[in-house]
Structure 1
Amino acid sequence: MSSRPSDRGSRERDTIYIDGAWVASTGPRRDVVSPATLEVVGYAPDGTAEDMDRAVAAARRAFDDGSWSGLAVADRLQYLERAAKLYAERSGELAELITAEMGSPITFSRNSQGPIAQHILNYFIELGKTFEFEQHRTALSTPALVVHDPVGVVAAIAPWNYPQALLLMKIAPALVAGCTVVAKPSPETAIDGLVLAEVFDEAGLPPGVLNVVPADREAGEHLISHRGVDRVSFTGSTAAGARIAEICGRDLRRCTLELGGKSAALVLDDFDVAVTMEGLKDVAFRNSGQTCTNQTRILVPRSRFDEFTAAFVGMVSSMVVGDPTDPSTDVGPMVSARQRDRIENYIAIGRQEGAQILVGGGRPDGLDVGWYVQPTVFTGVTNSMRIAREEIFGPVVGLIPYGDDAEGIAIANDSEYGLAASVWSADAQRAVQVGKRLSAGMILLNGQGGSFDAPFGGFRQSGIGRECGVEGLLAYTEAKQLPLLTT
């Protein structure tokens, strides 16, 4: 464990974490601005390519010398168990910090942001206790011993919307597998990324095993293309993912890409109004609309379209938009002015395409400071419109009517994306059978599902590979076979 940074517990950070030490960055300091008040809530270093070189060198040495990869799995897990305990002690601090940095409503931060991250860490610790890194396989010819070796040095790059959970989705399985890691938090949530480094540092993690360097895209691309990196794990936009796949492809570098979504909520004709409204309030507008799995295409049977629409508009109209530190707030600000501009541009596109706004469509009254957008519902939407095909990443949904189940399923599957979908029905068995016909990586039934103990990822342009579950651990290993010879 290194000496604690002098700024520990503060939102004003002057150091990054490389090779088990808190060191100065070669880059400038970047202010972190509250999206609600537009005031500076703290600052952190903005890492550079030179910082990434130092971090990769530390991770490379720690992997190659066996100080981590050579440890028994049980010994690695002892470090992670200490980290999990320390993490739980700082959950309240992290919830408030995430809300301050990116505007996640505080109730959501307390109930989801931190607990999801904690669950992911705990899950991989428990999986590591039972997973067989060496497996005997029978064969028609020579029996084989299959060994799952750690893949090497991992570049873990996470966005700002779930800054802790998405980093731990990469760091936890990588460390369990025996990899070493260079983590790049988003500049918008740089401070909480450095708190995560403190947790692992205080757990006594050996030098170089985890390195944390907040940085912008330019330094991130340098990390991705670094010859010392063996695997890249990225969560973010499809456009950025395509660029990363191109860079990794040049060197055949392994990568996991969890990208965008345009998820369909398929409401069947026997839906329960109360259950469906309560569930869609969460899964369509989660984290102020800034969630890749949010159900933003809502497919409704024509036979009950008017009934659904009236109930849905009433539910959305009742949502509280405002101060993210207020426990009653449902929808907080967008993370940045650029993000709000993007959402407002899509709202304008929807109008131009001929869709009609039933509720929302502007900025909330009385919230002149902060990057706020009203929750917005479009009707008159067809699945060919841009607002039905492109990811908006804000509190904007479109209602699309359909006839029978076959048409609804066809519309749901008619997308360049395939990250998540949902089915809403009073008949659980019917919902399961319909869900099996949807081409997405995660299917919710009446809002239930989304386990972080199971594989998470998408079809088509929603990404490559899976995180979480056993599959999420296997992503950080290379399998090799040896013969099991008889003497």
Structure 2
Amino acid sequence: MNKLANYLEGRWQEGAGAGSPVLDPVTGETLATVGADGIDMAAAYAFARNQGGTALRALSYAQRAELLGAIVKVLQANRDKYFDISLKNSGTVQNDSAVDVDGGIYTLSYYAKLGGKLTAGQLMADGTADALARDNAFATQHILVPVRGLALFINAFNFPSWGLWEKAAAALLSGVPVVIKPASATAWLTHEMVKDVIDAGILPGGALNIVCGRPANMLEALDSLDVVSFTGSADTAASLRNHPKIKLEGVRFNAETDSVNSALLGPDADDDAMGLLVREVVRELTIKSGQKCTAIRRILVPQARYATVAAALADKLKGITVGDPRLEGIRMGSLVSASQRDAIVAGIQKLEACSDIVFDGRQDIKIQAEGNQHAIVPPVVFGTQNPDTHPLVHEMEVFGPVATLMPYRDTDHALALARRGMGSLVASVYSNDPDFLAQAAISLAESHGRVHLINNDVAKVHTGHGNVMPQSNHGGPGRAGGGEELGGLRALRFYHRLSAVQGAPGVLEKIVN
């Protein structure tokens, strides 16, 4: 059994005590332990700021992009090992592991290429200079300079690879050192990736750090000019926001939290559009066992299509093989832990008390795994004929293979139902009516971080409702956390400070150039 050490102050440090177990969610085997008792986070942060930050900022954006490219090569060389860890620690089949492992590598590669095109040295101009006096004798120029603190990542359990690299890519490219706090349940993969990069000697000391377990003073040791990026539950995000370092001392905070995402079948509802929706709903229910912040939770269809869509979903889902990912032919694996299984079961019971059942995998799918201590839960689709008077389906996210089908009366009703999520990461719309797609995009953009429009023209090439691409914004308003990540170079803004520099135009030009 391996104890996952913490990499801080340029060296590996084990936490005191036995630590907490990291388990195989199918067999219950203890794979490793994590712990951070006794770790001096103040010293760790100071080293990251003073050593890692100083060294990174001495490089240009293009030079830091080269470092990202070198990291990509190390991760690609170890893909098979990462897939094996994912199977054991996350309970995922290989296709699902690829979403996490290859998704992280792709995102890093994207930012390596994007950063390689930047001509800036140590700062970036934001717009052009504006005159503040007659004859432009005095002017103002906005500039973006890298944060001189550190970036603390408090990550979720469902994407131990992608969740790390989609944040770290933008931070490191910006010149900001990172400290990663992975979720304990799936920390092994994050730890192994960080270890491989550290062993390769790519980054300057202090630029990449990891702390596993629950260190004391993790937030208390932050400086007011540090930044924190969090992915997880809305309750935890609210607790973090109320911490004095964030609430009172100005530590910049980004959150991605709960999201009751929608898939909407347009009122034209031909068979092609319906088929596209059904296929995507089944994908989102089964990939990573529905443990995706972008997964479809509500399925909105015209009243006249409700029964047809219900039957199509049931027909597709009954053919899904569910069980131990080590077994040949298994398409859907496990949840990441027994505690997550218990939370999903509790959520299913709440929805079951006030909903119809469209498909019940508990009855119609045989789980292929030994014993009954595993964390495997098959897909369940509920239905409600009265979504206006069924608030629970719009408010509660069951973070697993669970969704609810509901009918709408007309276009206005459909869009109103989608917005009842009160802020979501993504809505996908399926229609071959371009006017409806345009109307839906404009209406839903205010309450959704991403609007995914699907017609026959893109049926074979679209990237998927739940796939987060680095070219597009990831985040959402309201209950989704109000955060923003990725979106190309937009991601770098979180790791920069905006300042208005005022002076003679010649001086401002010298600064920018």
**TM-score for both structures, normalised by structure 2:** 0.86
Distance 1:189 1:473 in 2: 27
User: Which residue, out of 426, 432, 443, partners 2:451?
Assistant: 443
What is the CA deviation profile of residues 207-266 of structure 1, one whole-angstrom value per residue up to 9, with x for unaligned ones? Answer: 1111111123xx37x323323361001111111111111111121110111111101111
Q: CA deviation at 1:89?
A: 0.8
Q: CA deviation at 1:48?
A: 3.2
Answer yes or no: is the 8 Å Cα contact 1:231–1:255 preserved in 2.
Answer: yes
Deviations 1:113-140 (A, max 9, x none): 1121011111222232334432261314
Residue 509 of structure 2 is matched in structure 1 by none
Tell me, yes or no, if the aligned pair for 1:159 and 1:235 is still in contact at 8 Å.
yes
Query: What is the identity, as a one-letter code, of the residue corresponding to 2:474?
Result: F
1:182 is aligned to 179
CA distance in 2, matches of 1:17, 1:53: 14
Counterparts of 1:66-215 in structure 2 under 5 Å? 66-110=54-98, 112-131=99-118, 132=120, 133-135=123-125, 137-141=128-132, 142-151=138-147, 152-201=149-198, 202-215=200-213
Give the fraction of aligned pairs with identical amino acids, expressed as a percent.
Answer: 26
Secondary structure of residue in 2 paired with 1:255 = strand
Going from structure 1 to structure 2, the CA distance change for 1:366 and 1:79 (only over 3 Å counts) comes to closer
User: Match of 2:229, as an amino acid?
Assistant: S
Could you tell me which residue of structure 2 aligns to residue 245 of structure 1?
241
Q: Of residues 370, 380, 386 in structure 2, which corresponds to 1:376? A: 380
Given that 1:236 and 1:258 are in contact with CA atoms closer than 8 Å, whether structure 2 keeps it comes out as yes
The CA distance in 2 between the partners of 1:486 and 1:424, in whole Å, is: 52
Change (3 A) 1:333 1:126: same
Distance in 1, matches of 2:203 and 2:408, equals 55
SS in 1 for 2:240: helix
Task: Judge conservation of contact 1:364–1:372 (CA < 8 Å) in 2.
Answer: no
Aligned partner of residue 475 in structure 1, secondary structure: helix
Picking from 9, 18, 24, the partner of 2:14 is 24
For 1:7-22, what aligned pairs fall within 5 Å after superposition? 12-22=2-12
CA contact (8 A) 2:288 2:335 kept: no
Distance of aligned partners of 1:429 and 1:87 in 2 relative to their CA distance in 1, 3 Å threshold = farther
Corresponding residue of 1:46: 35
CA distance in 2, matches of 1:327, 1:157: 35
Task: Tell me the equivalent position of 1:460.
Answer: 478
Of 416-425 and 453-462, more deviation after overlay is shown by 416-425
For 1:292, the equivalent position in structure 2 comes to 293
The alpha-carbon distance between structure 1 residues 72 and 351, as it changes in their structure 2 partners (threshold 3 A), is closer
1:436/1:284 Cα in 2 relative to 1: closer, same or farther (>3 Å)?
farther
| One-letter amino acid of the counterpart of residue 159, structure 2 | Y
Whether the 8 Å CA contact 2:256–2:475 is kept in 1: the answer is: yes
Cα drift, residue 21 of structure 1? 2.1
1:486 and 1:106, CA in 2 relative to 1: closer, same or farther beyond 3 A?
closer
Task: Give the whole-Å Cα distance in 2 for the aligned partners of 1:163 and 1:430.
Answer: 38
Q: Distance in 2 between matches of 1:459 and 1:159?
A: 19
What is aligned with 2:510? Answer: none
Asked whether the 8 Å contact 2:263–2:299 carries over to 1, the reply is: yes
Distance in 2 of aligned mates of 1:44 and 1:259:
27
Do the aligned partners of residues 366 and 125 (structure 1) sit closer, same or farther apart at CA in structure 2, a change above 3 Å counting?
A: closer
SS of alignment partner, residue 437 of structure 1? helix
Equivalent position SS for 1:372? coil
Are the counterparts in 2 of residues 26 and 51 from structure 1 also a CA contact under 8 Å?
no
- Give the partner amino acid of 1:421: A
- Asked if 1 retains the 8 angstrom alpha-carbon contact of 2:448 and 2:476, the reply is yes
Which blocks of at least 5 consecutive residues in structure 2 are unaligned?
133-137, 507-513
* SS at 2:473 equivalent: coil
- Out of 415, 429, 432, which is 2:421 matched to? 415
1:106–1:327 contact (8 Å) kept in structure 2: no
Q: Following the alignment from structure 2 to structure 1, what is the Cα–Cα distance between the partners of residues 394 and 332?
A: 22
Shift of 1:31: 2.6
Query: What CA deviation, in whole Å up to 9, does each residue of 1:332-357 have, x standing for no partner?
Result: 11111111111111221122224335
| Equivalent residue letter for 1:305 | Y
Distance 1:301 1:49 in 2: 58
Is the CA contact 1:55–1:182 (under 8 Å) kept in the aligned structure 2? no
Contact 2:25 2:374 in 1 (8 A): yes
1:61 and 2:58 aligned? no
Name 1:266's counterpart in structure 2. 264
Question: Secondary structure, in 3 states, of the residue corresponding to 2:423?
Answer: coil
Contact 1:86 1:203 in 2 (8 A): no
How far the C-alpha of 1:149 sits from its partner, in A, is 1.6
Tell me the TM-score normalised to structure 1 length. Answer: 0.90
1:301 deviation in Å? 0.6
Letter in 1 for 2:169: A
Mapped to 1, the partners of 2:178 and 2:251 lie a distance apart of 15
Do the aligned partners of 2:155 and 2:163 also contact (CA within 8 Å) in 1?
yes
Equivalent position amino acid for 1:53 in 2? A
Q: Is the 8 A contact 1:347 1:361 kept in 2?
A: no
Q: Please state how far the C-alpha of 1:365 moved relative to its aligned partner.
A: 4.7
Residues 1:233 and 2:220 are matched in the alignment: no
Contact 1:82 1:203 in 2 (8 A): no
Could you list the per-position Cα deviations for residues 96-129 of structure 1 after superposition, in whole angstroms to 9, with x for gaps in the alignment? 212211112222213x111210111112222323
State the alpha-carbon separation in 1 of the partners of residues 418 and 87 from structure 2.
33
Letter in 2 for 1:474: R
Q: Which runs of 5+ in 1 are unaligned?
A: 1-10
